[in-house]
Structures are given as structure tokens and as C-alpha cells.
């Protein structure tokens, strides 16, 4: 699926960038052609103007005549190679050829005036091949406002064509190479773009698989308890009650698990400000210790609280914060042997409020530390199951702290204990 998407991304990238490249190459070629033509036309116009200026009108004959000696680049016949002029003709006002230089121009002036591109198969002095393209300009010449004839000049287009051919060859070679580079870039970029999606997809898949697996175990227990209850008609009284109690207990833990899963699925990103209240952490942690005191006493643990006298206020959802610190406290109790110490601290550090939950319990191996905030991750699966854990408590605590823009970290050593620390920004009025 990901390879197909990556291929599609690369294909679309190549197609779009390739089309842009081809259009760009076309525009470049067109502009060069226009530029070359404009260059030729300027040159042609200059030459035609010089020839037109050399026309001498002979009144008695009512005819014009071109004086060659006045035309600097047409002094010889044929014209010197560097003039580029293929022919220059002088036509009378009826369009009949009177004089010419270079290759013979048409005898009769064609109807089309001004600039013209024409193809010729004549053997031309400067032409490299049999078929040549010429640019021709026909200028009307007037004497005292009266039309006396036309000057027609043609130059060879070969050098402009050579320049265009060179550009075309370059584009023909460069465009496929650029297309190859673009498709390779598209493939690499497609891979990079797919990476986070692939990662999230794999995480989601693992999460769904873990969640289904966690739900299957208690469901199987409910089913077997119910089936045994149905099979044994004599299963009455205390035994039946025990089975129903077991089913209710499993259903309760499943309910907790589903609640946790729903929380993790729904709560993403930062909390919106309308859910945030000014919360006094000193009060909140005090209430939490009262709340957990029965569990702590039942497990024969010693709790020490180190809370400041003054209030430390943060902007938070009090229920969520209660749940996050509650998860850390209940873990500290779960993973500390009877007689151990659990400590709850609150203090300020520059602009942050720091909550620490410390225990001198079993600790967490260094190899497991990077993963303990992942969903369903448990260091000792058997032990965690015995203590009723699904491996979601820390993931939920971290998600809550992050939703408040805070930070949750851990330090732990096997056999020594663990310190979980929450940092939140202090709210200043
Ligand atoms: P669980 O419901 O299994 O406790 P958590 O997400 O709360 O899941 O914790 C993940 C794992 O991290 C636990 O299974 C346990 O192995 C380890 N852990 C968490 N807190 C502590 C602690 N205070 N001391 C030792 N191990 C801990």
C-alpha cells in the first residue's frame, strides 16, 4: 500500500514538474526564436535604409537609380562575405526589377511588402545547404512625397537557424536528464512524505491489535464463567454467586480499559483554553493524598508529602490533572513493596511548577525506560496483570501532561526506586 502510494506520489510529482519543465523549455525556445528574428530584422532594416538613402532620382527619365558607390557594404558585386546580404534589388514604382546586386532577386516585386521569411533552393554564395531560408525586407522609396520605387534586401537566416538548432539540441538532451532527476527526487520525497504516515499507521495497527488482544482475555474469562454456570444446573448458591461476582469484576476492568482507550483516542493535541481553569496544585495534591490514603494504608506503605505553604496556580483541567498524578501515585504504590516509602513533592523552578512522585520500589531497567510511556507497554507482563495494569496508565498521564503543554519525565534504577516528574507552566495573574 505504501509503495503504491509512494509510486503514485513520485509519478504525479514527475508529471507536474515535467509538464512545467516542458512548457518552460518551449517558452525558452520561442523567446530565442523571436529574439533571433528581431535581431535579423533590425540588421535588415539598417541595410535597407542605407540602400534607400543611396537612390538618386533622375528627373528627366522619371526614374530612380541606385548609386552603388554610396552603399558602403555593396561596393562590390557580388557583396563581400561579411555583409550577409544575399541580394539587394531596386524596383521601379510598377514593381519591375531595374538593378540588383548579389544573387538575382525576383524580376517582379511580389505583392507582400515589409518583412518576409522566404525559402529558396537557389545556389546562394553564403548558404551552407541547397535549401536556404532568407529574411527579406521591401521598403518603398519616395521622392518629395511621391513613390518612385522599392528597395528590396534579403539576408540569410542560417546563423539564426544554427543558434536555434543548438538550443533545440541542448533542450532535447537536457529535458530527459532533468525529467530523470525529477522522478528520482519525486521518489525520494515520496518516501520522506510517507514516513510519518507509515509510522502513524503502524502505531495505529499495533494499538488496535494490542487493544483487541487485551479485550479478548477478559472476554474469554466472562464467556467461560458464564458457560460453566449454564452447564452445571446444580451450580447454585455460593458458587453461582462467586461466578457472577467474577463476571462483574471482569466487566468492570473491561469498562476501565475501554474508558482509557476512548480517552487516548479522543484526547489529542493541546487542550483548548475554555477547558482550562486556575488550579491550585497545593490543594489538588492534598486532595489526591486523602483520596489514595486507604490504598496506601492497605498496602502498608508510608507516604510523605512535601507541599509548599503557599498556593502554586496553573491553568489546567483539574479532573485530568488529578488523573495524571493519580496514575503516577498508584503506580508508585503498585510497584513498591510493603513498608516502602512513596513521596509526593511540589515546588517551583523558575517559571515552572514541578510535581515529583518518588518511590523506593522495584525500579525500571534502563532498557525498558524509553518504552514505558508507550501504550500497552509493561516491563513485567505477568506482574502487571496481577496488579491489574493494562500498560496504559503512563501513556494517559503523558498525554494529559502534554495536552497542558507540560513535560513528564522519569528517572529510575532497578532495586532503588523511581522518580516521575511533571513540569507545568505557572499561571501568573
Ligand atoms: P500499568 O497499568 O501496567 O501499570 P503503566 O503504563 O502505568 O501501566 O506503566 C507501564 C509499566 O511501567 C508498568 O507495567 C511497570 O512495569 C512500569 N512502571 C510504571 N511505574 C513504575 C514504578 N513507579 N516503579 C516501577 N515500575 C513502574
Is there a shared CATH topology between the 2-164 domain and the 273-425 domain?
Answer: no
The verdict on pTM exceeding 0.85 is no
Query: Taking the domain 2-164, which CATH number applies?
Result: 3.30.450.20
Q: For ligand 1, what atom is nearest to the CA of residue 361?
A: 24
- Whole-number Å distance, alpha carbon 281 to ligand 1 midpoint, is 24
Is residue 14 lining ligand 1, measured as CB closer than 6 Å?
A: no
Instruction: Give the pLDDT confidence score for residue 66 in this predicted structure.
Output: 59
Average pLDDT, the chain: 83
Q: For ligand 1, what atom is nearest to the CA of residue 391?
A: 8
CB atoms under 10 Å from CB of 228, counted, come to 12
Q: Are 148 and 55 in contact (CB under 8 A)?
A: yes
Q: Are 40 and 46 in contact (CB under 8 A)?
A: no
Q: Which of 80, 43, 50 is nearest to 151 (CA)?
A: 50
Q: Can you spell out the DSSP letters for 70-122?
A: G-GGGSSSSPPGGG-EEEEEEEETTSBEEEEEESPPPSB--S--EEEEEEE-S
* pLDDT above 90 (res 419): yes
The structural domains of the chain, with segments of one domain joined by +, span 2-164, 273-425
pLDDT in tens, 106-138: 788 876 668 888 887 766 655 566 677 888 899
Q: Is the peptide bond before 73 cis (omega within 30 degrees of 0)?
A: no
Is residue 394 lining ligand 1, measured as CB closer than 6 Å?
A: yes
Question: Residue 291 and residue 326: Cα distance in Å, rounded?
Answer: 9
Is residue 340 lining ligand 1, measured as CB closer than 6 Å?
A: no
Instruction: Give the pLDDT confidence score for residue 235 in this predicted structure.
Output: 57
273-425 is a CATH 3.30.70.380 domain: no
Please give the C-alpha separations between residue 219 and each of 5, 110, 224, 258, in angstroms, as whole numbers: 38, 99, 9, 13
Is residue 335 lining ligand 1, measured as CB closer than 6 Å?
A: yes
* Span 362-388, average pLDDT: 82
Higher per-residue confidence, 352 vs 147: 352
Q: For ligand 1, what atom is nearest to the CA of residue 392?
A: 6
**What is the residue with the minimal CA distance to atom 19 of ligand 1?**
331
- Whole-number Å distance, alpha carbon 267 to ligand 1 midpoint, is 21
Amino acid at each position: 500500500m505504501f509503495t503504491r502510494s509512494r509510486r503514485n506520489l513520485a509519478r504525479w510529482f514527475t508529471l507536474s514538474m515535467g509538464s512545467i519543465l516542458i512548457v518552460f523549455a518551449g517558452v525558452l525556445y520561442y523567446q530565442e526564436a523571436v529574439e533571433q528574428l528581431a535581431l535579423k530584422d533590425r540588421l535588415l532594416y539598417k541595410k535597407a535604409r542605407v540602400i534607400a538613402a543611396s537612390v538618386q532620382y533622375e528627373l528627366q527619365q522619371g526614374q530612380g537609380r541606385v548609386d552603388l558607390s554610396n552603399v558602403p557594404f555593396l561596393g562590390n558585386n557580388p557583396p563581400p562575405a561579411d555583409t550577409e546580404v544575399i541580394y539587394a534589388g531596386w524596383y521601379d514604382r510598377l514593381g519591375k526589377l531595374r538593378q540588383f546586386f548579389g544573387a538575382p532577386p525576383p524580376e517582379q516585386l511580389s505583392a507582400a511588402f515589409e518583412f518576409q521569411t522566404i525559402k529558396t533552393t537557389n545556389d546562394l554564395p553564403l548558404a551552407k545547404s541547397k535549401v536556404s531560408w532568407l529574411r527579406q525586407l521591401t521598403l518603398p522609396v519616395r521622392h518629395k512625397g511621391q513613390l518612385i520605387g522599392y528597395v528590396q534586401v534579403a539576408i540569410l537566416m542560417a546563423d539564426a537557424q544554427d543558434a536555434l538548432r543548438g538550443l533545440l539540441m541542448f533542450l532535447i538532451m537536457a529535458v530527459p536528464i532533468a525529467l530523470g532527476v525529477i522522478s528520482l527526487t519525486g521518489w525520494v520525497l515520496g518516501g520522506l512524505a510517507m514516513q510519518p504516515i507509515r509510522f502513524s499507521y503502524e502505531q495505529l495497527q499495533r494499538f488496535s491489535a494490542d487493544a483487541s488482544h487485551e479485550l479478548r482475555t477478559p472476554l474469554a474469562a466472562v464467556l467461560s464463567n458464564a458457560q460453566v454456570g449454564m452447564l452445571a444446573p446444580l451450580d447454585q448458591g455460593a458458587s453461582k454467586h462467586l461466578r457472577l461476582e467474577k463476571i462483574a469484576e471482569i466487566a468492570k476492568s473491561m469498562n476501565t480499559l475501554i474508558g482509557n482507550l476512548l480517552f487516548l483516542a479522543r484526547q489529542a493535541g493541546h487542550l483548548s483554553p475554555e477547558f482550562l481553569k486556575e488550579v491550585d496544585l497545593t490543594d489538588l495534591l492534598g486532595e489526591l493524598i486523602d483520596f489514595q490514603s486507604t490504598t496506601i494504608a492497605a498496602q502498608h506503605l508510608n507516604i510523605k508529602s512535601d507541599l509548599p505553604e503557599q498556593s502554586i496556580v496553573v491553568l489546567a483541567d483539574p479532573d485530568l490533572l488529578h488523573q495524571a498524578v493519580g496514575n503516577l501515585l498508584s503506580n508508585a504504590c503498585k510497584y513498591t513493596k510493603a513498608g516502602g516509602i512513596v513521596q509526593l513533592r511540589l515546588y517551583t523552578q523558575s517559571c515552572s511548577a514541578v510535581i515529583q512522585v518518588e518511590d523506593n520500589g522495584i525500579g525500571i531497567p534502563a532498557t525498558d525506560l524509553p518504552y514505558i510511556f508507550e501504550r500497552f507497554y509493561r516491563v513485567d507482563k505477568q506482574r502487571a496483570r496481577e496488579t491489574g495494569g493494562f500498560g496504559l496508565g503512563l501513556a494517559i498521564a503523558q498525554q494529559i501532561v502534554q495536552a497542558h503543554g507540560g513535560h513528564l519525565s522519569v528517572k529510575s534504577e532497578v532495586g532503588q526506586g523511581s522518580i516521575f516528574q511533571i513540569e507545568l507552566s505557572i499561571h501568573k495573574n
